[in-house]
Structure 1
Amino acid sequence: MSNSEKYSEIIVESYIPDKLSGLHGKIHIKPIAGQEPFTEDMHVSCSKVLSQRYPVGTKFKIKAKLTSKEGGKPYLFSHRTWAYEVLI
């Protein structure tokens, strides 16, 4: 099993990107700094609840795995129905 198939608990936060071109919605989720190999420039696919029900800047602990679509840019995936923990 490669690292891309393993799920990890990571801390993410909601934010508003400087550029929204090619993105869906205004508020997005990204990993916080210091969690290599997960970097702050990675997108996170997860429940929309995190970006819709909490203020921008809220931090969450989620279970996610590193993945990509057909060799595209790596991103983190956390199923929309999985539990998450609100940290701040």
Structure 2
Amino acid sequence: MAQHGDYKEIIVESYKATSTSGLHGDVHIRPAPNQFYSQALKVECAKRLSRDYPVGTRFKIRVKLTDREGEGEYLYSYFGWPVEVLK
């Protein structure tokens, strides 16, 4: 369920997860350090960001804090939105 608040533009980065229990794939997306959101939050976005770029690549995307019953909070970005590749 979407939570209150607007979408924010933040910088996220791809990383290789140390534990993939309950996750799909080895490479995931998280907020970069010193962003509005904690790096502990998962980011749901276009799969191409974790598939088509080297681990550690940073992107500027629009996200919104949301949650799923029983799964906790995460950041959501529509997969069809433009992405700015930073590095």
Same fold per TM (> 0.5)? yes
Aligned to 2:18: 18
Matched positions, count:
86
TM-score by length of 2: 0.91
SS at 2:35's partner residue? Answer: coil
Q: Is residue 2:25 matched to residue 1:32?
A: no
Paired position in structure 1 for 2:60: 61
Checking the alignment, whether the CA contact within 8 Å between 1:11 and 1:62 is kept in structure 2 is: yes
Secondary structure of 1:12's match? strand
Q: CA RMSD in A?
A: 1.6
Report whether the alignment pairs 1:87 with 2:69.
no
Residues 20-47 of structure 1 deviation map (CA, whole Å, 9 limit, x = unaligned): 10101111000011113x1101100000
1:33, 1:82 → 2: CA distance? 22
Deviations 1:39-88 (A, max 9, x none): 10110000001001100000000001000012642100001111010001
SS of the residue corresponding to residue 68 of structure 2 reads: coil
Counterpart AA for 1:68: D
AA at the equivalent of 2:80:
T
Q: Compute the TM-score of the two structures, normalised by the length of structure 1.
A: 0.90
Return 5+ residue gaps in structure 2 as ranges.
Answer: none
Opposite residue 61 of structure 1, the aligned amino acid is K
Q: Which runs of 4+ in 1 moved over 3 A?
A: none
Gaps of 5+ in 1: none
- Distance in 2, Cα, partners of 1:71 & 1:23: 15
Q: Verify the 8 A CA contact 1:5 1:67 in the aligned structure 2.
A: no
